[in-house]
Structure 1
Amino acid sequence: MTNTEYGHLLSNFEYLKFIGIQNHTEETIDFVNNFRYTDVQGLIKMTDYEEWYREANIIKATVIVGGFPHFKGLDDFDFQENINKDQIIDFITHRFIHENRNIAFMGSSGAGKTHLAASNGILFAKKQESHTTLNVTHLSLN
């Protein structure tokens, strides 16, 4: 591939807004050349990058629109000994939704209620499912 062809290719990716592909073009070309992948395998790798990029942007936008106070997940949560970890892990399966039940996180200030609620909400956002998170102030006003 000549420099002119390569520049044209990158220009096309930019025009088509293929940011994921554009960010990984050199890496993919090297991968194809070094591991003797076929052109089709290289194209699959490039379109996978684009799919991942777009999916990540959709998730990020959904989380931003959701107005979550942070982007922390359960991996960032400090499970104290008085918190039932198995029960919290069960919440992320969203089984309670299919059983038409609600969940409420109760505890003292700093226990992690907001963190758990936001983490659960972010999981909903990533799956592009709807949910409502309320705090006690909101409940008392309704």
Structure 2
Amino acid sequence: MLTRLRRSPVADNPAALVGRQTLASASPYEPLYGYSRAVRIGDRISVAGTAPIEPDGSSTPGDAGVQAARCLTIIADALAALGGSPADVVRTRMFITDPADADLVGRAHGAMFGDIRPAATMVVVSALLRPEWKIEIEAEALIEKTA
């Protein structure tokens, strides 16, 4: 669940060339560690590493594919809150803890981005913040300007 959208003074200044919007989610780590779920500056949206967290702060149960789908849903919601959509995503980074999960994660990624085909990287890491997490995903989007 996305909880807050903030605009910086730069974004509220009509003379500013580039505005900044930040978005918070239900992650308990954002306020503790001082980061935003997503940031939009101009036509770019950057979505922070997104773990499989439920609205109540608990971890999403299930295999890496289920957890990846949850991460991607959180990312899609963040993009929408900042005026974007999965169709605007140009790059993703996936961090998995077990190389055997690559296919499950890749298929979840393909279910959302199969026709979009952003640049993507999948990296195996030794661990994520919570031991039950099998996946964390980052995304970058570029909103095309319309005439």
- Compare the two structures and name the one with the higher strand fraction: 2
TM-score (norm 2): 0.24
Larger proportion of helix = 1
Q: Which has the higher contact order (CA 8 A, sep 6+)?
A: 2
